[in-house]
C-alpha cells in the first residue's frame, strides 16, 4: 500500500515509495529487524551494508544473508563497484528471499573509500550506472535502488546531482533514497558526516521535479515519522516525495515505529504497547538462546524500548549490566521489566497519592 498517491506512472513497488528504516552498520541485523517488525507491519527494513567481497569470498552466505520471513519486506544493501560482483551478489539476494537490492553510494568512511565503495562513487556516475544495469539484469522480480548523498566534497552545483540521478535512471534504477547532506571524503568522520554538512532538503525535492517518474525518498536529520510527513507534501514549491527513511532516531527511540502504520499506511488499528512488543519478543529470545545464541545479541537493540518513560533508564542499565554475561537468560529481561513496572507504580503513587 503506497503511503501517498504518487505522481509517477506505475512505478515499481520499492522502498523509495515507502517509510523505511535506514541500514546501519553493526546495528540493523536480523535481530534488530525482527524487533522493529513488532512495532510496524509495513515499514521497509534494511540489512546492514554487506560488501560483495564478504559474500563472494567468505563462503558463509547464511551468516550474511540469513533472515526470517517475519522481517519482510526487507532490503539487502550491497557495497561494491565491480559490476560482475554486484550482479552475482544481487542474484544471491534474490535467491535468499530479499524484497529489494540496494546499492550503497552514501557511506563516507575511509575504509570503504579505499575499496571504491560508498559515497566516493558519486564522483563516478557512469560506474554507478553500469553497475545498476548489471544488477537489474541479474535479478528477475525484485527492484534495484540506490542510496546516495546530494554530493561529495566541493561539489556545489545541483546539476551534478541531477546528472548522477539521470544516469542511474537511464540505467533502469527503480528508486533512489537521498541523504540530504553532502559527504566529505576527507576531514570528517562518518559521525561528523551525519551532523556537520548542512541539510538541503530542497535539493531532494528538486530531484523529484526533474524525474517525476522515478521513486524518490529522503533521509537525513528527520527526528520522527510525524516530521517525515512534511516531505510527502509540496516543499518550498517543489513536488512531494514518494518515501521517507529514518535511521538513528528510530534506533534510539524504537517505539517511534509504532506510529508508522497509522501515519503512512492509514491503518485504523491500535498500535502495540511497549509491553505487548516485549511479550512478542520473548519467544524469539528463548528460541535464540536455545539455539546457542547470546542474550545481548538481541537486547542491545531493545535498550531504547522504554525511552522517555519512568523506569526507562533502569531498563537500559539493567540490560547493559547483565545481558552480556555468559549465563544471561530470559530472566534478565523479565527483571529489567519489573524495574520499569515498579518505577511506574511509584510515579503513579506520587501523582495520585492515596486519600
Over its C-alpha atoms, the chain yields an Rg (Å, rounded) of: 21
Active-site annotation, residues: 107
The kind and range of the H/E element at 46 are strand 45-51
Q: Are 47 and 97 in contact (CB under 8 A)?
A: no
Cell of 128: 554507478
Strand partners, 152: 183
**DSSP alpha helices (H): ranges in 105-222?**
110-113, 125-138, 158-170, 190-193, 201-210
Q: CA 264 to CA 228: how far, in whole Å?
A: 10
Task: Give the span between the Cα atoms of 160 and 164, in whole angstroms.
Answer: 6
What is the rounded distance in angstroms from the CA atom of residue 305 to the CA atom of residue 299? 10
Helix (H) or strand (E) holding 90: helix 83-95
Contacts of 143 (CB under 8 A, 6+ apart): 12, 13, 14, 100, 101, 174, 175
Q: Cα(51)–Cα(47) distance, rounded to whole angstroms?
A: 12
Give CA–CA dist 198/187, Å, rounded.
15
Nearest to 3 by CA among 271, 229, 224: 229
From CA 7, how far away is CA 17, in angstroms rounded? Answer: 11
**Beta strand pairing call for 243-246 and 100-105:** unpaired
Strands across the sheet containing 100-105 = 19-21, 243-246, 215-219, 175-183, 144-152, 100-105, 74-79, 45-51
Amino acid at each position: 500500500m503506497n503511503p501517498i498517491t504518487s505522481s509517477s506512472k506505475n512505478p515499481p513497488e520499492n522502498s523509495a515509495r515507502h517509510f523505511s528504516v535506514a541500514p546501519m552498520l553493526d546495528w540493523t541485523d536480523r535481530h534488530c529487524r525482527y524487533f522493529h517488525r513488532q512495532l510496524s507491519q509495513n515499514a521497509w527494513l534494511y540489512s546492514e551494508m554487506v560488501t560483495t567481497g564478504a559474500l563472494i569470498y567468505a563462503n558463509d552466505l547464511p551468516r550474511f544473508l540469513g533472515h526470517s520471513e517475519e522481517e519482510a519486506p526487507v532490503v539487502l544493501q550491497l557495497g561494491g563497484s565491480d559490476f560482475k560482483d554486484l550482479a552475482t551478489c544481487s542474484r544471491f539476494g534474490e535467491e535468499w528471499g530479499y524484497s529489494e537490492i540496494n546499492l550503497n553510494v552514501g557511506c563516507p568512511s575511509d575504509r570503504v573509500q579505499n575499496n571504491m565503495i560508498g559515497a566516493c562513487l558519486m564522483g563516478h556516475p557512469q560506474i554507478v550506472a553500469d553497475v545498476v544495469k548489471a544488477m537489474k539484469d541479474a535479478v528477475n522480480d525484485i527492484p534495484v535502488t540506490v542510496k546516495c548523498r546530494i554530493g561529495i566534497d566541493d561539489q556545489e552545483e545541483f546539476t551534478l546531482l541531477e546528472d548522477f540521478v539521470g544516469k542511474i535512471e537511464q540505467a533502469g534504477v527503480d528508486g533512489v533514497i537521498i541523504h540530504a547532506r553532502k559527504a566529505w571524503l576527507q576531514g570528517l568522520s562518518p559521525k561528523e558526516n551525519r551532523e556537520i554538512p548542512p541539510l538541503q532538503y530542497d535539493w531532494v525535492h528538486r530531484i523529484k521535479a526533474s524525474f517525476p517518474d522515478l521513486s524518490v525518498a529522503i533521509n537525513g536529520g528527520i527526528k520522527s515519522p510525524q516530521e517525515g510527513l512534511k516531505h510527502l507534501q509540496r516543499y518550498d514549491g517543489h513536488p512531494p516525495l514518494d518515501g521517507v527513511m529514518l535511521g538513528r532516531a528510530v534506533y534510539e527511540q524504537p517505539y517511534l515505529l509504532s506510529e508508522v502504520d497509522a501515519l503512512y499506511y492509514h491503518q485504523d488499528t491500535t498500535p502495540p504497547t511497549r509491553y505487548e512488543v516485549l511479550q512478542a519478543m520473548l519467544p524469539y529470545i528463548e528460541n535464540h538462546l536455545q539455539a546457542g545464541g547470546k542474550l545481548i545479541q538481541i537486547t542491545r537493540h531493545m535498550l531504547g524500548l522504554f525511552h522517555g518513560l519512568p523506569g526507562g533508564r533502569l531498563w537500559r542499565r539493567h540490560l547493559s549490566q547483565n545481558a552480556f554475561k555468559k549465563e544471561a537468560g530470559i530472566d534478565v529481561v523479565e527483571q529489567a521489566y519489573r524495574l520499569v513496572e515498579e518505577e511506574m507504580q511509584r510515579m503513579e503513587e506520587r501523582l495520585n497519592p492515596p486519600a
